Amino acid sequence: MCPRLTKIVTILPSFLVSNNTDKPLRFMEHNEKTDLWIDLAPQQTIKFWPETNSMEMYVKYRDSKTISQSFYMAVHHRTVMRMDKGSALTVEVTGGVSDSFQISFNDYKPGDAPILVKNYCGDIFLKIQQQDLSPVTILRPYNSLLYTWDDVTKPRQLVWNVYNNKGSGFLVDINKEGFGEEKIRFHSVTPNTSQSQSSSGDDSDSSDSTQPNLNKKVHKDKIIIYWICYRDGVQKTLLLTQELRIYNRILKIVHEKCYLEGLVALSGVGLSIFTSENDTKEHIYLSISDSPAIWEVNVGQKWKTLTLELASWIEDKYRLHYKKCQLKEYVHIDFEKMYMLKPFFAELRRTYHPAVYFQFRKSPSHQYYNLKLQMVQIDNKQTGNIALHPLPLPNIKEVEPFAELTLSKIDCKDATIYKFVKLKVSNLYLCVENDLIVKLGDLVGRTKLCSEDTASRYVNDITSVHKSVTPKANVGPFESEKMSAIVLYGCRCLLGHINMSPAAVEACVTDIFANQNMENIQRMRRHGSYHKSEILPKALTISSRNFSTGVPNALSQLIVKNQNGIHCDGEMFFRTTGKALLSLITRHPDEKSDSVEVAREALRRASILGEPIKIHQRLTRYRNKYLGLRPLSVHESMGHHLLETICNSRFINDSYWAHVAIDKVGKSIVIVTLEHVIRINKCRLWGPWELDWVVDLDDITSMPKMNCIELILNLRQSDTNTGGLQQIKISGQKELLLWLHEKIEQAIIVSMEDKSWTIMANT
């Protein structure tokens, strides 16, 4: 037995030569010693091993003496070869990477010729030739010529000139479309023959015979020749003319005006995936996000990039639609005129790249598409790793799209021509996790099963809809649902027809659209408190936006820890790279500003610049099995994360219901679950949350009671958790206490729904 893997060696011929024409051919390699022609029948392919190192080949028809120019047989190319009697043959060389070189001889088709030259000059002969070669082709006025290269082994550059001009000529890149004009000076000679005759009366052998006088007139001519290189159908064409009218007419046809243009730009697109019905938080989050805006200042006629902390601070004010902003007497910014007023007067510039950029243009025969995906990232929320993300760049100015697709095509009568197709993908980091792949495979398998069984599922659903309702007991009279008014109110909130704060709009939409399912509608009928379209108090969302509690809680979710053996967290970032930003936010607070968003923006900038830190694109979406899948709420996401992490994940199996910060700073929080009511406190900015007290929901003997300044919980007599207390009093703002009172009532009712109660008869 061989201890190593078996190696397979495949021996292939060096060249495969194919005749795809209807005529018999002969070919041979360039050999100075002998001419050895090899016959190649129509539609035949043979193997060929060269005997020399020339790597050049000739071809001819079997019954012809005209031999083509030599061409390379080990270089990829497609060339039209001149043959006898004005015919042509197309040679194409492919392969040679993982297989043999394939040399194919094909019949000439329209469009195979490199260029069609048209001479629309009235009285000027033109010279056409390949650069640095002596053979010249003369083109008469109002004639056209299909031109191919005289020597395909030389540089393929086309040169044209006026016949009697001794200049070097004019080079045209026929691989690109273009137009222009050339001013040419040359000398022309016009001969004028005049003969003077005289008669003599004497007959003499030595008579003076008058010779004709040849007067030559030399003219200095100056002409302008216009040229256009364009594609006419499948054929590339070079037109030369002295008529400006013809030039403008062709130019107008070639440069068609766009009659339809579309532009779509999105700041972000995300896809949240749950791979199991029992998951409480999303497994995968696929996001296409924008790159951080680049802020630059013009110093000495050079654009300089602002520092990380200053750019993050200015971007936050810009997104809040400030016209002007200032940082005491240090920095003054005028966003209307885009100037920095202090510490020095200079022009500002903002460069922004959206997450998705799509451009579409259409003319009568041309179409252009351009799609850019700026930053693509796949987050594994359950393991806390990043499965895919672009590699960092040395300079934030050099940020390029993660993927770019550009396509341009021309619709002709006979064919559709793709002028160019470009697909560009930047460098990326990919982490393959077995668990993630298995879960995705199971999810795709379940999706296919559902799609294949659509007919039977449809029949079952329709049957269940038409089941008789007469056996059901306690069926009340017909009553219309007030659902339409609720949905209408939510739509008005989304469209901005109702004036309220962004946090209130988010909470309103979250509550309305998440509860539109049959299970929750029936709960609404039983419990009037569910039917309300609640609006989160403004004081409730402050703790999710301030720096003291919101930023540490958010960064503990966003930052990927233990990357490359380095423990990364928010404290390390704000003690090193973000030290100036920490001072900027804490010493100069802004009520309208979201500190969490400012910190996330700074982390993204640091990550792009190559700092040893990786972040998720957003907070984790959680799912409550009682409320179903709801739109992402930053407040709820932070509450879920707190419940998972406090007390060494002691309450990780609890069902989160609500949480509220009962003090102004947000360092004392009450969390309500379907099993417990928990109060936690925080003493240090980057320190852990400490448990103050915890109460089992079953130990609460009655609904919470509310007075002016306190919320009172009556407890069953017990020595656990609270030290034997019969009451717990929670102090705070009245608005917050009312909201907490409602949430505790809801949690008690929902927890009782899923429990079976046994009634013991009195004995």
| Residue 144, in any domain of the structure | yes
Same domain (yes/no): 185, 275: no
Nearest to residue 113, comparing CAs of 76, 88, 131?
A: 88
Total count of residues recorded for the chain: 763
Tokens (6 digits) for 271: 């896809």
CA distance linking residue 616 with residue 147, whole number of Å: 59
pLDDT at residue 621 greater than cutoff 70: yes
| Residue 574, in any domain of the structure | no
CA distance linking residue 303 with residue 320, whole number of Å: 25
Same domain (yes/no): 745, 643: yes
Same domain (yes/no): 81, 152: no
Rounded to the nearest 5°, which phi and psi values hold at 157? -125, 135
Domain count, the chain: 4
pLDDT digits (tens, 9 = 90+) for 277-324: 888 889 999 999 998 898 999 998 899 988 888 888 889 889 888 899
pTM: 0.72
pLDDT at residue 473 greater than cutoff 70: no
Same domain (yes/no): 178, 248: yes
- 1-10, 26-35, 86-95, 627-636: lowest mean pLDDT where? 1-10
614-621 mean pLDDT: 88
Higher-pLDDT residue of 307 and 587 is 307
* Residues with Cβ within 8 Å of residue 80, at least 6 apart in sequence: 88, 89, 90, 91, 108, 112, 113, 114, 148
Assess contact for 137 and 147: CB atoms under 8 A. Answer: yes
Cβ atoms within 10 Å of 763's Cβ, excluding its own:
3
Same domain (yes/no): 75, 163: no
Domain boundary among 46, 72, 107: 107
| Residue 203, in any domain of the structure | no
CA distance linking residue 731 with residue 736, whole number of Å: 10
- Give percent of the chain with pLDDT exceeding 90: 25
496 Rama class: left (phi>0) / alpha (psi -120 to 50) / beta: left
Domain boundary among 384, 413, 430: 430
- 270-279, 335-344, 482-491: lowest mean pLDDT where? 482-491
pLDDT digits (tens, 9 = 90+) for 407-462: 999 888 777 888 889 999 988 888 888 888 888 888 877 766 666 566 676 777 67
pLDDT at 433: 82
- Give percent of the chain with pLDDT exceeding 70: 81
- Residue 289 Cα distances to 266, 295, 423, 616, 619, angstroms: 9, 18, 19, 11, 14
Same domain (yes/no): 175, 141: yes
| Residue 223, in any domain of the structure | yes
Band of pLDDT at residue 203, cut at 50, 70 and 90: very low
Same domain (yes/no): 275, 405: yes
Higher-pLDDT residue of 119 and 529 is 119
Domain boundary among 430, 465, 498: 430
Same domain (yes/no): 73, 170: no
pLDDT at 57: 92
Same domain (yes/no): 184, 297: no
| Residue 700, in any domain of the structure | yes
CA distance linking residue 333 with residue 349, whole number of Å: 12
| Residue 602, in any domain of the structure | no
* Residues with Cβ within 8 Å of residue 559, at least 6 apart in sequence: 568, 569, 570, 573, 603, 613, 614, 615, 616
pLDDT at 515: 57
| Residue 66, in any domain of the structure | yes
Same domain (yes/no): 158, 29: no
pLDDT at 397: 76
Same domain (yes/no): 426, 343: yes
CATH label of the domain that carries residue 682:
2.30.29.30
Full domain range(s) for residue 154: 115-189+216-254
pLDDT digits (tens, 9 = 90+) for 205-224: 433 444 444 455 666 778 89
Q: What is the CA radius of gyration of the chain?
A: 41
* Residues with Cβ within 8 Å of residue 95, at least 6 apart in sequence: 16, 101, 102
Helix axis angle for 434-452 and 454-465, nearest 10°, is 70
| Residue 339, in any domain of the structure | yes
pLDDT at 198: 38
pLDDT digits (tens, 9 = 90+) for 529-581: 443 445 677 777 777 788 878 888 888 888 887 655 445 667 777 777 777 77
Same domain (yes/no): 347, 402: yes
